[in-house]
């Protein structure tokens, strides 16, 4: 059995709006193993990035509060003070942010930004750090590391900036990497190169990767396991093969049905009714996806939906999957 590098246990995060806290993610349970890529997938606003930020402890403690346990190397990250969490961030857990242009400082040269975690977490001298920067830039596929190291972010293409952000994330060879929409706004060719790079890093460093995306094509090509999120909850968790070949939760099945299929070329695309509820209107009880499948009777939904292991390592929230069907099927 693969070694677990992260265990998320009953984690919820709430944000303060008009003086009151509203949960953005609720009762999240998942693990990430060494040598695997776990993908978090779902619509925008479903809580994927919030979960990543909670793991990394990036939220303002005055505006957000988290509960539960995030166990990494035997310690609960939610219990660590700022000094202790800074000893984890960047060196043991790396993060690849969604927008590399925003993640990079426009006034600093690339070599200084890639070396930042090395300055903070190692005792290497300047020359050793510089050589490590060149090594990292070469490792992420940058053709001329010396030239790129001397440049500023605005002088690089989107694909090169993304590679630089990846180099920053892996500088200290972390055991866990969180990649938040790493291929957003990149063309298809560059997307494929970035995904191949992440898989190579995972195999070489034997780390675990959490890959956040809304692109099911990326999931199919890259992930080992998939956690499908809806309205702040995980609604299905299984291997990538199970998710695509035997999806069970109505939301998972709806997502897959809304994907264009070559054999259905010319047919009208399936559209999921409604939208993800806002934080203020997030229901505390009942199936949160129920309003978007109104043809399924309320009796098919659990009053307090739980995760059920329907097959070995295949978990589904609520019992509504048993009688779910699409309209006119």
The Cα-based distances of 129 to 105, 116, 134, 138, 145 in angstroms read 19, 9, 9, 14, 14
Q: How far apart are CA 46 and CA 276, in angstroms?
A: 7
8 Å CB contact between 14 and 282: no
What tokens does 242 get? Answer: 């199970």
Helix (H, G, I), strand (E, B) or coil at 313: coil
Question: Under CATH, what is the fold of the domain 4-323?
Answer: Rossmann fold (3.40.50)
Q: Are strands 37-41 and 314-317 parallel, antiparallel or unpaired?
A: unpaired
Q: Where are the domains of the chain?
A: 4-323
Confidence class for position 217, pLDDT limits 50, 70, 90: confident
Confidence class for position 185, pLDDT limits 50, 70, 90: confident
pLDDT at 45: 87
Q: Which residues contact 41 (CB under 8 A, 6 or more apart)?
A: 48, 213, 214, 216, 219, 226, 227, 228, 229, 255
List, for residues 128-181, the tens digit of each pLDDT value.
999 999 999 999 999 999 999 999 999 999 899 999 999 999 999 999 999 999
Helix then strand then coil, % of the chain, to nearest 5: 35, 25, 40
The Cα-based distances of 284 to 21, 211, 288 in angstroms read 13, 28, 8
Confidence class for position 108, pLDDT limits 50, 70, 90: very high
| H or E element, residue 67 | strand 64-72
Enter the DSSP assignment of 86. Answer: H
Q: How far apart are CA 314 and CA 238, in angstroms?
A: 4
pLDDT over threshold 80, residue 54? yes
Enter the DSSP assignment of 304. Answer: S
Q: How far separated are the first and last CA of the chain, in Å rounded?
A: 41
The pTM (predicted TM-score) of the whole model is 0.93
8 Å CB contact between 177 and 207: yes
Which residue has tokens 């047919």?
267
What tokens does 231 get? Answer: 């309205």
List, for residues 256-297, the tens digit of each pLDDT value.
998 876 666 656 778 899 988 999 999 988 999 999 999 999
8 Å CB contact between 172 and 112: no
Q: How far apart are CA 80 and CA 100, in angstroms?
A: 28
Selected residue with higher pLDDT from 184 and 181: 181
Cβ atoms within 10 Å, residue 329: 5
What tokens does 326 get? Answer: 């699409």
What tokens does 65 get? Answer: 């509060």
Percent of the chain at pLDDT > 70 equals 97
| H or E element, residue 16 | strand 4-17
């Amino acid at each position: 059995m693969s070694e677990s590098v992260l265990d998320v246990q009953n984690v919820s995060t709430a944000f303060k709006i008009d003086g009151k806290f509203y949960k953005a993610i609720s009762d999240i349970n998942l693990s990430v193993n060494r040598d695997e890529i776990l993908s978090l997938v779902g619509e925008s606003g479903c809580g994927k990035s919030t979960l990543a930020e909670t793991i990394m402890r990036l939220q303002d403690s005055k505006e957000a509060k988290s509960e539960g346990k995030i166990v990494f190397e035997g310690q609960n990250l939610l219990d660590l003070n700022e000094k202790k969490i800074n000893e984890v961030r960047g060196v043991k857990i790396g993060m690849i942010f969604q927008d590399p242009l925003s993640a990079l400082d426009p006034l600093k040269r690339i070599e200084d930004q890639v070396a930042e975690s090395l300055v903070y977490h190692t005792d290497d001298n300047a020359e050793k750090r510089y050589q490590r920067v060149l090594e990292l830039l070469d490792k992420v596929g940058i053709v001329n590391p010396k030239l790129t190291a001397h440049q500023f972010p605005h002088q690089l293409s989107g694909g090169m900036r993304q590679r630089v952000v990846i180099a920053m994330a892996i500088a200290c060879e972390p055991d866990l990497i969180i990649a938040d929409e790493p291929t957003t706004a990149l063309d298809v060719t560059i997307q494929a190169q970035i995904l191949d790079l992440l898989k190579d890093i995972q195999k070489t460093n034997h780390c675990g990767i959490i890959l956040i995306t809304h692109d099911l094509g990326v999931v199919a090509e890259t992930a080992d396991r998939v956690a499908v999120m809806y309205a702040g909850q995980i609604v299905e968790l299984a291997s990538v093969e199970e998710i695509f070949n035997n999806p069970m939760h109505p939301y998972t099945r709806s997502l897959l049905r809304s994907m264009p299929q070559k054999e259905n070329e010319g047919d009208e695309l399936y559209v999921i009714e409604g939208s993800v509820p806002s934080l203020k209107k997030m229901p505390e009880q009942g199936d949160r996806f129920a309003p978007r499948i109104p043809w399924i009777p309320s009796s098919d939904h659990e009053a307090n939906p739980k995760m059920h292991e329907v097959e070995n390592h295949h978990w589904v929230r609520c019992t509504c999957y048993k009688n779910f069907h699409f309209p006119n099927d």
